[in-house]
Every structure is written in C-alpha cells, then in structure tokens.
Amino acid sequence: MKPGYEIVWNNCLNVIKDNIPQISFKTWFEPIVPLKIESDVLTIQVPSAFFYEYLEEHFIDLLRSTIRRELGHSAKLEYSVVVDNPHQKNQQPLTQRLPSNNRTDLRNRPVSMQMNSEKPVVKNPFVIPGIKKLNVDPQLNSDYTFENHIEGECNRLARSAGMAVAKNPGKTAFNPLFLYGNSGLGKTHLAQAIGIDVKKYFPEKTVLYVNANKFQTQFTESVRNNTQNDFLNFYQMIDVLIIDDVQEFAGKEKTQNTFFHIFNHLHQMGKQLILTADKAPVEMKGMEDRLLSRFKWGLSADVHIPDYDTRVAILKHKLYKDGINSIGGDVIEYIASNISQNIRELEGALISLLAQATLNKKEITREVAMSIVDKLVKKTQKELSVDYIQQIVCDYFGLAVDSLQSKTRKREIVQARQVAMYFSKSLTNSSLSAIGSKIGKKDHATVLHACKTVNNLIETDKDFKNQMQEIEAQIKM
C-alpha cells in the first residue's frame, strides 16, 4: 500500500528543510497544507496565488526531485490556491484549483506554468477603485520632498542613504532602511521623500506609505471580516513599503507576526522596506526578536536634533517656500536659538508668529517673536512628566529611582523625594495627590509639606539653593 499524502508531504518537507535556509522554509513551506494524493498527483494547498507563483519560480526543482523521490517518476503536483469569497463573509475560504490540464507534470514540466484563468482578486484595503497594481495610491504628502528637506549634520547619513535607496529601491544594502530618532525631527518627511523620488524615477513601481497604527487597524479589520488573505496579498505586491512609527507594533503579537511574513516576502523578492521608529532596533521593547533582527539587516540611521545653523536654514526655507520676506534675520535667529529640540515646534512657532502678526496687523519684530516663542517654550516645560523629574533628581543625587518608592526614612532619600515633589509641583500641571501617588505613594498633605520644606531650605541654605538651580537647569535642558 502506498503511504498517505500527509506522510509523503512530511517526507518531502524533511528533505526540503535541509536544502534551503530556515527563513525560506518557514515562510514558504510551513504554511502549505497537503490535501490528497490521487493517481500519483499530490495536491497541496497554498495561501495565495502569489505564493504559488513564488514556489514555482524559486523552488520547483527542489519540489520536483523530492516528490519524485517519494512517488516515483510519474508523480505530478497540483496546487490548490486559497482565495477569499468576498460575497460570503465568515465562511471558510474557497480554494481555487488549477485546471487539470495545467498540472505540473514533473517529468516534463513546462518552463513556466501559468494559472491560465483569472487570478484570485486582490482587494486593496485602502478601498481604491480598480485594484490593479498601478492604481495603489502611495499616500504620500507632496510637500515632503528632498528639496524641502534641509540637510544638516543631524540627518546627513539618513538623507544620503534615503537618496541612494530612492535611485535604486531594493537593490542597495540599505534594506530595510530603518530611520529612527525623537519626535518631530523629520523621519516621516525623509521616508516620504524617498517614496516621492521612487515614483519620480520609477513611475511603474508601487509605493505605499502607511502609519503603523493604520496597518494595525487594517489588519484587525481583515481578521474580523475574514479577509486576511486579501490583506496579505495587498501588502505583498508593494514594491516600496514605508511603515512609519513601527514602535506602535510593540506588544501586538498578531500584527507583528503578519508584518513578519510581509517583511520576509518583500525582502526575498528584492522589494524595498523603509521603516521609521522613535528608537534604534536594539532599544525597542515589546517586539519579537525575529522582527528586531530583521530590522537590523539593512541600515539603521538616526536623525538627531539639528544644530543652530540647520535650524536657521529650515526656517528660512519655510519662509521662502511660503513667499514671505517680511521677517527679519533677528526674528529668525531668536526662534532658532530658543526652540532647539523639535523641528515641528520650530515650524509651529513660525506659523503662530505669522498668524498673530496677520490677525493683529502687527509688524513682526523681535519683541513679538519673543512673546510668542516664550509662551511656546513655557508650554513645553509644563509638559514635563513626574517620572522624568524623578529620574533627573535621582540621577543628580546618585540614587536609584526605585529608592523614592521605598518606605525608608534615610535622610538623603527623604530629601530627594521632597525635591522631586517640589519640582513636580512647580514644573508640571499634576495635582498634589497625583504627584504623591507617583512619588512614594504619599498623600497630598505630604507633597504640600515637601514643597514648603524645600522652599524654606532654598531661602535659608545657599548650597541647597545652588543644587536646586542645577537640578532645575537639568530638568529643563
């Protein structure tokens, strides 16, 4: 008696596993389900038409030899391709069988086997009519070009790698290109500039920018609507995929798993991936190791805070672009020297200034700039968190942050706790009870007492006052 199809397929897998990289095996062979053997025809189920094409293109020789080894020289292979039936929600996916005259005859296989009839429909989760490849809207902001992106020491590597990628997507060593850095420093702008240039140089390429949150929502919806195949198929046909803020995937295992497959697929097909995050891969938390290791395959380039000259150049460029020439150099210098941490805030200050000046019909002088920028800078300070203050205070006194939570009455810890409470009250909007509950689980009266004690000490002890000034400067830095 001949062995059953499951045993045959398992034997094939054992051989295949030894002959291809583990990643390829997991990606391309683990999802296959053997269905039957009839008259020496082994039927295997694959998750998508693309999958089938990929197997045919890359693994047919290996498949041929292993299946022939198991079933003899008259062995044939047939695929059953899973397609979703869009009209029947919540039902098992249908399978589209290859017509019998297209069976892969392993003795005399045609050079390229086609699924001759229509391919399974690939739905576009962005709901763009006409799901053909060319119709995918890249979701790019036309302002985010390289021309509108000012080069500085802070972004030189990321920018030049981005330009290289745009000229040769998927063909450089920078795949994925992983751009990271703090908020408002231009990661999205840069990632989109690459997409815009790819479309300029290669209009036929499918480019897609998507924020990690949107990707996650689409994925969840596809699970709910039983259209995961469409979701996967859609993303697997993109030539340049830009995912912004990938740190948002942290802790979302299923989304990570799906993204992992999309990543592998695109990477193996020589497609370009561009990812942005607020941290370097080594510092990311809540992400699967296998995904993090892939993030490190290409180039990780950070963008950091721009220096003064770059900030001035950015402001001048914005004004030039908007056709405004009524702002003097002293005003630009004032903004650039006072807002240094975030380019979005730099732009925000400029916009507020222009708006106020127009509304109040005021000339934009250095004094007007000062009043607006000072408000913005103060607002930023108020957004400091209690946790951050505790960290700075503990660093200053050489204590572990945990020590503030302990019940100990040791003098240096009690004092550090009081200092942290004092600065939390004066530099954040948190209430006394919110501060107390965060710092050592104390009540509002304890916080009030701490503030009074610190105030008294500042007035009576010069050394203590100096220390407080140093700590405050560090918090505000």
Ligand X SMILES: Nc1ncnc2c1ncn2[C@@H]1O[C@H](COP(=O)(O)OP(=O)(O)OP(=O)(O)O)[C@@H](O)[C@H]1O
**Contact residues: ligand X, CB under 6 A:** 148-150, 155, 183-189, 278, 314, 343-344, 347
Nearer to ligand X, 210 or 432 (CB): 210
Nearer to ligand X, 189 or 205 (CB): 189
Residue 171 DSSP label: T
Tokens 């672009």 correspond to: 321
Q: Which residues make beta-bridge pairs with 76?
A: 41, 105
Extract the tokens encoding 246: 């990938």
186 annotated among ligand-binding-site residues: yes
Judging by DSSP bridges, how do beta strands 41-46 and 33-38 pair with one another?
Answer: antiparallel
Query: How many residues are there in the chain?
Result: 477
Nearer to ligand X, 314 or 336 (CB): 314
In contact, 292 and 260? CB cutoff 8 Å: no
CA distance 226 to 388: 44
Q: What's the closest the beta carbon of residue 323 comes to ligand X, in angstroms?
A: 17
CA distance 468 to 473: 9
* Chain residue whose CB lies nearest ligand X: 186
Nearer to ligand X, 343 or 404 (CB): 343
Q: Where are the alpha helices (DSSP H) in 142-252?
A: 156-167, 187-201, 212-224, 228-236
Q: What's the closest the beta carbon of residue 380 comes to ligand X, in angstroms?
A: 14
Q: What's the closest the beta carbon of residue 317 comes to ligand X, in angstroms?
A: 6
Extract the tokens encoding 85: 């039936």
Nearer to ligand X, 123 or 149 (CB): 149
Residue 251 — φ and ψ, nearest 5°? 75, -5
Q: What's the closest the beta carbon of residue 190 comes to ligand X, in angstroms?
A: 7
In contact, 37 and 5? CB cutoff 8 Å: yes
Nearer to ligand X, 146 or 234 (CB): 146
In contact, 125 and 218? CB cutoff 8 Å: yes
Number of neighbouring beta carbons within 10 Å of residue 35: 18
Tokens 């003899």 correspond to: 72
Tokens 């370097």 correspond to: 280
Q: What's the closest the beta carbon of residue 184 comes to ligand X, in angstroms?
A: 5
**Widest Cα–Cα separation across the chain:** 98
188 annotated among ligand-binding-site residues: yes
Nearer to ligand X, 384 or 457 (CB): 384
Across 188-324, the runs of DSSP E, i.e. the strands, are 207-211, 240-244, 272-277, 299-302
Q: What's the closest the beta carbon of residue 310 comes to ligand X, in angstroms?
A: 7
Q: What's the closest the beta carbon of residue 210 comes to ligand X, in angstroms?
A: 13
Number of neighbouring beta carbons within 10 Å of residue 255: 20
Q: What's the closest the beta carbon of residue 258 comes to ligand X, in angstroms?
A: 23
In contact, 427 and 381? CB cutoff 8 Å: yes
Nearer to ligand X, 17 or 344 (CB): 344
Nearer to ligand X, 9 or 144 (CB): 144
Q: Nearest-CA neighbor of 235 among 86, 133, 167? A: 133
Q: What's the closest the beta carbon of residue 302 comes to ligand X, in angstroms?
A: 11
Residue 243 exposed, middle or buried by CB count within 10 Å (0-12, 13-18, 19+)? buried
Binding residues: 184, 186-188
Binding residues for ATP: 184, 186-188
